[in-house]
Structure 1
Amino acid sequence: MLITVRCQEGPFEDELRSLSAWLEADRTVVRHIRVEPGSERPRLPGQQGDGIDVLSLVLGTGFNAASLATAIACWRATRNQPPTLVVERSDGTRIEIRGSNPAEAQALMSGLLTDEQSDSGS
């Protein structure tokens, strides 16, 4: 399963780098998820690539939706002003996580990921 994470405002490259490092440091998460920072903007000939504007999370078999949801909610709780995150599944279903309520962020993420696991299992 593939999901993408984008920041809607603020220093989004710094925030995505921070989230990437947070996820990669979480042994429970990194065991089943590959984090790939990247850019969705086209690279112009003769120029280096753009900075990071998206994180792709490749979720492997055996991954636990609750662990990823908790990790993202915990990361947001460490931010002075948690950025709005747009999390999108490969089928186009997306959520926006705003505000500073970790329980709400976790519920949104869990719902998105649990629905995807149910859909792919049927």
Structure 2
Amino acid sequence: MLITVHSPGSIAEVELRSLAAWLEADRSVRRHVRTELTSGLPRVPGQQGDGIDILSIVLSSGFSTAALSASIASWRATRAQAPTITVQRANGARVEIRGVITSETEAVVRRLLEDEQTEPSS
């Protein structure tokens, strides 16, 4: 499953690098995810690339989406000012998280991710 996390604003790269490092440091998560930092803007030949504004997360099958949701919530709780992030599935379904994360917000992210795992394959 492919999940992307987007963070707007001038500190997006710092926040997304922090989240990627957090996920890779979490023992319950790191063996089930592969992360990649990218830019959502197209590259212009001959020019330096834009800053990072997308974190792509590839989840292995059988990985608990609850564990990923909890890890993202834990990471946001460590930030001095919780950044706004958008978690999006490959099919375009997404949820934006602003302000302090609550158990309800974590549950919404979990449902978004679980819906992807239960969709019938074609």
- TM-score greater than 0.5 by the shorter chain: yes
The alignment's TM-score, normalised by the length of structure 1, stands at 0.91
After superposition, where does 1:37-52 map in structure 2 within 5 Å? 37-52=37-52
**Normalised TM-score (structure 2):** 0.91
Q: What percentage of aligned pairs have identical amino acids?
A: 57
Q: Tell me: CA distance 1:21–1:39, structure 2 relative to 1, closer, same or farther (3 Å).
A: same
| Structure 1 SS opposite 2:56 | strand
Q: Which moved more, 1:91-100 or 1:102-111?
A: 102-111
Deviation at 1:74, TM superposition (A): 0.2
Which stretches in structure 2 are left out of the alignment for 5+ residues?
none
Aligned pair count? Answer: 122
Structure 1: gaps of 5 or more residues: none
CA shift for structure 1 position 46 = 1.4
Moved over 4 A (4+): none
- For residue 81 of structure 1, what is the amino acid of its counterpart? Q
Root-mean-square deviation over aligned CA pairs? 1.6
Q: Tell me, in whole angstroms, the C-alpha distance in 2 between the residues paired with 1:81 and 1:30.
A: 25
Name the CA distance, whole Å, in 1 between partners of 2:121 and 2:97: 26
Q: Secondary structure at the match of 1:3?
A: strand
Q: 1:85 to 1:102 in 2, by over 3 A?
A: same
